[in-house]
Amino acid sequence: VTYRDLLSEYNLSRFERLEILSFVSGKSKADIIRDIIENCPDGIANRAREIAERRQVGEPLAYILGEWDFYGLRLKITPDVLIPRVDSEELVSAVLDKVIDKNAELEILDLCSGSGCLGLALLSKLPNASLTAVDISEAALELARQNSEILGFSDRVKTITADVLRLPVERFFNAQFSILISNPPYVTASEMKNLDRSVADYEPHIALFGGEDGLDFYRAIKKHWSALVVHDGIIGLECGFAQGETVKKIFDGKAIVIATGG
Ligand SMILES: C[S@@+](CC[C@H](N)C(=O)[O-])C[C@H]1O[C@@H](n2cnc3c(N)ncnc32)[C@H](O)[C@@H]1O
């Protein structure tokens, strides 16, 4: 069977088909497109079909493959963390846009860091910056450490287990950051009941629920964590599509706010 015809019986997007074919064959997506009329070896074809079967019943592709692209980085992803969203790349770009000296020794704080995607993407463009990644999930931080290692950023990354809804733990007492970035849980109580199956059945609920009105983390970040940012520092936040104005107000108009999802 040719790469073009393989998986044609499954209801997958072209993007997903390419992701799967690239993963099982070890070829880049560009090479798959180039070789699209070549025959695919049986073993590889069978692995592709197994993945397509799982995808077909709803499992997110990022969890099946165990890796996913974010901001040009290939990150390791497990069901312990949210799958990095394309929308969040916009937050990274908006924050980078505000950084005047890209070679400065910047300290970055990524709150509710999950896979580490936001902070690691910043590190990939800021060669002398260091990252402190904070999450309540030890499994998420372990993954963030693995991703730092894979990308060669280990010596620039520190992980700290902490509850962002509470006051910073002792290790932060003398800390100062030039950039605070966060995509915290922001789903409201009522939205939690109507989540898309693909999210509700597979992604960690602790990564989603942001309290009754979805804004608990923004209030806590403002109250407890924003004081750790230097006076001309950058605060960049992602929130739900209907929360943008409220989150801007919580931060007195002094944060970059990217409202996404919906
Ligand atoms: C929406 S996910 C975002 C992950 C990552 N920043 C991203 O953009 O893909 C939120 C993260 O917050 C973490 N989290 C949930 N409650 C927390 C808390 N009280 N303190 C710190 N982190 C928390 C979850 O473990 C999850 O990794």
User: pLDDT tens digit string along 125-174?
Assistant: 999 999 999 999 999 999 999 999 999 999 999 999 999 999 988 888 88
Which residues does residue 109 pair with via DSSP β-bridges, in sequence order?
132, 180
| Ligand 1 near 210 CB (within 6 A) | no
User: What's the rounded Cα separation, in Å, for the pair 10 and 26?
Assistant: 21
pLDDT per residue over 196-228, tens digit each? 998 999 999 999 999 999 999 999 999 999 999
pLDDT score, position 144: 98
Cα of 134 from ligand 1 centre, angstroms:
8
Q: Is 207 in the pocket of ligand 1 (CB under 6 A)?
A: yes
- Does residue 262 register a pLDDT over 60? no
Neighbouring CB atoms inside 10 A of 85's CB total 16
Task: State pTM to two decimals.
Answer: 0.96
Confidence of residue 107 (pLDDT cuts 50, 70, 90): very high
Helices (H) and strands (E) in the chain, counts: 11, 8
Average pLDDT for the chain:
96
For residue 247 the two structure tokens come to 């989150």
* Ligand 1 atom having least distance to the Cα of 113: 6
pLDDT of 231 over the 70 cut: yes
Determine the average pLDDT of the residues in 108-120: 98
Q: How many CB atoms lie under 10 A from the CB of residue 22?
A: 17
CB 93 within 8 A of CB 258: no
Ligand 1 within 6 A of CB of 140: yes
Instruction: Output the residue whose Cα is nearest ligand 1's atom 10.
Output: 207
The token pair at 175 is: 């800390």
Pairing of strands 177-182, 229-240: parallel
Q: Is the pLDDT of residue 261 over 80?
A: no
pLDDT score at 171:
86
Can you tell me which atom of ligand 1 is nearest the CA of 137?
A: 25
- The conformation of residue 89, written as its DSSP 8-state character, comes to H
Average pLDDT over residues 57-77: 97
Rg of the Cα atoms in the chain: 20
Task: For residue 161, give the nearest of 172, 152, 153 by alpha carbon.
Answer: 172
CA of 114 to the centre of ligand 1 (A): 5
Query: Is any atom of ligand 1 closer than 6 Å to the C-beta of 237?
Result: no
Alpha-carbon span 256 to 95, nearest angstrom: 7
- pLDDT of 250 strictly over 90: yes
pLDDT for the residue 168: 87
Verify whether ligand 1 is closer than 6 Å to residue 168 (CB atom).
no
Given this model, what pLDDT does residue 48 score? 98
